[in-house]
Amino acid sequence: MFRDLSDFHAWWAERTRANDYRVTRTPLESMPGWALEPGTENIVHDSGRFFSVCGLEIRTDHREVASWSQPIIVQPEIGILGILVKMIDGRPHCLLQAKMEPGNVNLLQLSPTVQATRSNYTRVHRGSAVPYLDHFVAPRGGRVVFDALQSEQGSWFLGKRNRNMIVEVTGEVPVRDDYCWLDLEQIAVLLKEPNLVNMDTRTVLSGMPFLLSPDGRAPRHEESPGRAFHTHGELLSWLSEMKSRYVLTRRTVPLAQLAQWKRTGGEIVHEESRYFSIVGVDVRATNREVAQWSQPMLKPAGRGLIGFLGRTIDGVFHVLVRAKTEAGTHDVLELAPTVSCNAANYACLSPELRPRYLDDLERAAATRALVDVVHSEEGGRFLHAENRYLVVDAGEDFGLDVPDDFRWMTVDQLTALLRYGNHVDVAARCLLSCLAAVPTAVAVG
């Protein structure tokens, strides 16, 4: 526990000093433990586990182009992202961890209590046991506050999902090195600092509203349905309509067969240097399960933008949610922010292919941003993947008519949907966590 955040920052500086990490780039061809599979040139681990990088052919009638091919990360196992919660001095506190991930620009970020792939916690890597894991696997002692299988980046992962869990305990919990208790108000402040609260923490935090509903019922929207622009049933109907209207089909292909991607200089790059590249890294650390390893990582071509355009409707703050299809989406589409894009990818496209509402978002951000902060995506798979997270209030003059791919929803409606898993994408979930730190939005949402 920290009396105030200056104590936290002192502890954080100390944790940074206490550990030594070095991340260096290495050619994909020379990563111990990893191989380019003969024939396909897919990047696979010698154990056949962890994850692999292969090619994917995508066809859909719900994107700017009808078909494309790309490298994609395949990680079929479901890992656990878990936050332990305890009431201390009458306020809920979360046990978070100072954890190095090789892809973080600053290496160390605040991660959940447990952040473990199945390979991790079944000890494929032969490292040390995952601390606090026993609180998240049955028979666990605490109360499960939130537990849903959630998707991760659909552009970069093929159908990957992790189990997002929040478990509340009452007993004594020993606090190990690199771990600390933070209350929700402190976390809300830290969420405004760039690149500090990592993606895994942010996605799990999106389930925190259910901490306040001890009988397991959905949050407030059930009690005041009349205040939302659409009923919950109308939103579900729209989702059914969208999923049956559009088609997403794909098949994995050898990485070596992707026409627009080539392996050169020890990396896999797009012919126009767009989207992302696949690179190798060597990692040396003193406080991870294993002290040294190599791995492939996905490095985005530039900083992205993830944003909700919002406005108040009849006194309730709503965000404009998009039904979005990506290469690796589990089931045709998920609920996404109004805009989620890498501006660099659109720079050379014609104006009509520029993402819808991007201009509105950037314009409103200049004067009425509720959230405006740069965060990192998962540093275990993505190298220096930063996004600007924005929630803006576009004002009540902003038109309510939107294209069929979009719907106005309250924060509580979106939160009610995310507990069912694979409904709300990782970008939208991370924005919800950031938005929880904005008192006015939560109060009226």
Q: Which stretch binds a second copy (CB under 8 A): 3-11, 178-186, 214-222, 279-287?
A: 214-222
Does position 234 interact with a second copy (CB under 8 A)? The reply is: yes
Peptide bond into 355 cis (omega under 30): no
Facing residues of 249 across strands? 59
Task: Kindly state the smallest distance separating residue 5's Cβ from a second copy, in Å.
Answer: 32
Rg of the chain's alpha carbons, rounded to an integer? 21
State which of residues 105, 169, 218, 301 lies at the interface with a second copy (CB under 8 A): 218
Angle at 326 between CA 361 and CA 299, to 5 degrees: 80
* Long-range contacts from 261-264, C-beta under 8 angstroms, 24+ separation: 261/55, 261/69, 261/70, 261/71, 263/28, 263/41
Does position 124 interact with a second copy (CB under 8 A)? The reply is: no
Contacts to a second copy from residues 132-171, by CB under 8 A: 138, 144-149, 163, 165
Query: What are the tokens at 347?
Result: 């720079």
Task: Kindly state the smallest distance separating residue 233's Cβ from a second copy, in Å.
Answer: 3
Nearer to a second copy, 225 or 266 (CB): 225
* Long-range contacts from 237-240, C-beta under 8 angstroms, 24+ separation: 238/323, 238/407, 239/323, 239/335, 239/423
Task: Kindly state the smallest distance separating residue 377's Cβ from a second copy, in Å.
Answer: 22
Nearer to a second copy, 58 or 305 (CB): 58
Nearer to a second copy, 134 or 271 (CB): 134
Does position 243 interact with a second copy (CB under 8 A)? The reply is: yes
Contacts to a second copy from residues 316-345, by CB under 8 A: 330-331
Q: Which stretch binds a second copy (CB under 8 A): 108-116, 220-228, 262-270, 370-378?
A: 220-228
Contacts of 377 (CB under 8 A, 6+ apart): 103, 153, 199, 385, 386, 387
Contacts to a second copy from residues 36-75, by CB under 8 A: none
State which of residues 177, 241, 271, 314 lies at the interface with a second copy (CB under 8 A): 241
State which of residues 38, 233, 315, 399 lies at the interface with a second copy (CB under 8 A): 233
3-state secondary structure of 272: coil
State which of residues 29, 64, 222, 314 lies at the interface with a second copy (CB under 8 A): 222
Q: Which stretch binds a second copy (CB under 8 A): 54-62, 198-206, 365-373, 415-423?
A: 415-423
Contacts of 381 (CB under 8 A, 6+ apart): 51, 73, 103, 156, 157, 297, 298
8 Å CB contact between 329 and 340: no
Give, for 238, the enclosing helix (H) or strand (E). helix 232-245
- Residues near a second copy (CB under 8 A) are 76, 78, 80, 118, 138, 144-149, 163, 165, 210, 215-218, 222, 225-226, 231-234, 236-237, 240-241, 243-244, 247, 249, 330-331, 419-421
